[in-house]
A and B are shown apart, each in its own frame.
Chain A
Amino acid sequence: MLKFLDSFSTILKEFSSDEEKFKALTLYFFGWSFLFFGLLFGVWYPVKFFEDLLRIVRTPDYLLTDYIRVGGIAAAFFNSGILMILFTFILRLLRVPISGLSYASVLTVGGFALFGKNIFNVWPILIGVFLYSFWRREPIQRYIYVAYFGTAISPLVSFVAFNLPATNVPRLVLSYIVGILVGLFLPSMAGHFLTLHKGYNLYNVGFTCGLVGTVAAAFFRIYGVQIPVQRIWSEGNNVVFSLFLLPLFLFVIFCGWLLNNRSLQGYKKLMRHSGRLLTDFVILEGVPLTLINIGILGTISTVYVLLIKSQLNGPTIGGIMTVAGFAALGKHLRNVVPVIVGVTIASISNSYELGSPNNVLAAIFGTTVAPIAGEFGIVWGIIAGFLHNAMVNNVGFLHAGLNLYNNGFAGGLVAIVLIPIIKTIHKREDL
């Protein structure tokens, strides 16, 4: 056993000698894991697999649309894995240095590719952002992450493509035009909104897309296009997904631990950061500790879903992957736990069941306001979580679910409301 450990450690260290390649490899690892997991279920029935994939593409996928229910495990995980691989490949192609932002964006895209992003609807947003950088004569590397996170609004593309009352070709063309236009304005808007919540909401582009979605939904509604509420939510796969996710995250912790000279040294220091944008753990603390943090937060989120007797499915795994991704960009145990406690207190006392989609998603994604706990302490973290639970269950109507990062939108509002209050009570002026 010890011999195996030594040889695995040697291989890992050899790989990590070229740091940039190793970081990309770890990103690819998540993509390939999801892809293989999907193929494990789909390779036996190829025709059904492609039909399922097509169903995922054609289904209106505004919130809440669980691709596992729509197209099955195979197609959903294939969709997620292939997007993570392609998005990592694009980063490498553009020679973007792999940082915490890369982990956060790629893992978030992978997570949301289980309930809203797919191989059809993400590209126009990317094209729009590319055109923006071309038009501004600025390198695309500057805005690539806005493009990645901006795919939060991709259900808008699918909605126009498959739901507008028109014939197929004009709808498809129009959907891409709409997506490109949104992508074109997204970098400027996202940059502008950064200062509204002062970096205390980690899903900044989610906040931006919430406003874009609100505008889009408002237009649809005044012209009589209704966006019906939908809740497509799969159940009964807790065992199979636990057997996939827990070993995956434990393996990531194990690799980080090995690379960190078989210790957790430095993890306490990592937790000293408030986590406010832009706390890039890959840059500030290195890859090994970041991997440990990703694994720990991924494991804890998975266990949380199981503990409250909720379901591991597209949306919750999406949330877990987002938390894991942002474990490279600001989230850690110290700032995440108080928020989850706050959301859970609200969950116990509000009118929804503890394990209902409303509550479980608010708890996992609500960690977007983790920097509030990181900067102002446990009590404010709990209050932020409590407030977030209330907000997130009410703002979805505004954008009709067209913005997948509903929690990013709600988290931004929580930060905007809460920071001045904290400032008043603490009499702090350095905010």
Chain B
Amino acid sequence: MALDKEIVTRVCAQLTKYLLERSAENLNISISKAEKYSVKIVSKVFLKDDELDLLRSYLSVRPQEVGYYYLPLIGEYGSEEDLAVVAMLLEELELIYDESKHELTISFRVR
């Protein structure tokens, strides 16, 4: 599989697992490809403040080449720490959480 396709697949799987483990009620993934893959994940999920902070801190990791080497680990086990590796592979990552609706929107583009 081409690297960008593999990244999209694994990253979406990793984020899906993370959200389902936090009892996400529904989850929609929209993937589109122009020059690069763009992904938007919208989920109805209840996140506590510390969980949200943790997610933000994981996803705020800046892009790093070494993330590609650890790609095989992503998406398989859903360990929280892997989200930091996820962030290394993405760009223009945005995370919005509407506390009143318990709606989480994560959007990003594969580097």
Contacts and interface: CB of A to CB of B under 8 A. Distances in A.
Interface of B: 57-58, 61-62, 64-66, 68-73, 76-79, 81-82, 84-85
Contact of B66 (A141, A199, A284): A141
A145 B69 contact: yes
A279 B79 CA distance: 10
Interface stretch (A187-195, A229-237, A299-307): A187-195
Given A198-B76, A284-B57, A284-B81, A278 B65 contact: no
A246 interface: no
**6 closest residue pairs by CB, A with B:** A141-B65, A142-B65, A279-B81, A194-B72, A278-B70, A195-B72
A142 B72 contact: no
For chain A, the bracket of interface size reads: 20 to 34
Interface string A262-291: 000000000001101111100110000000
A280 B78 CA distance: 16
Contacts of A138: 68
A283 B69 contact: no
A187 B81 contact: no
Given A97-B64, A139-B65, A191-B69, A278 B82 contact: yes
Contacts of B65: 96, 139, 141-142
B79 to A, nearest CB: 6
Contacts of A142: 65-66, 68-69
Given A278-B84, A283-B84, A284-B57, A194 B64 contact: no
A92 to B, nearest CB: 15
A101 B66 contact: yes
Contact of B58 (A143, A194, A284, A430): A284
A319 B8 CA distance: 39
Contact of B85 (A198, A274, A278, A431): A278
Interface of A: 96-97, 99, 101, 138-139, 141-146, 187, 190-192, 194-195, 198-199, 273-274, 276-280, 283-284, 430-431
8 contacts: A141-B66, A142-B69, A187-B69, A190-B69, A194-B73, A276-B81, A278-B70, A279-B81
B81 A278 contact: yes
A274 B82 CA distance: 11
A417 to B, nearest CB: 18
B66 to A, nearest CB: 6
B76 A195 contact: yes
Given A194-B72, A195-B72, A276 B58 contact: no
Contacts of A277: 70, 73
A199 B80 CA distance: 13
B93 to A, nearest CB: 15
A138 B69 CA distance: 11
Contacts of A283: 61, 84
Contacts of B70: 194, 277-278
Given A139-B65, A141-B66, A276-B81, A195 B73 contact: yes
Contacts of A431: 77
Contacts of A146: 69
A191 B72 contact: yes
A274 B69 contact: no
A170 to B, nearest CB: 35
Nearest to B3: A138
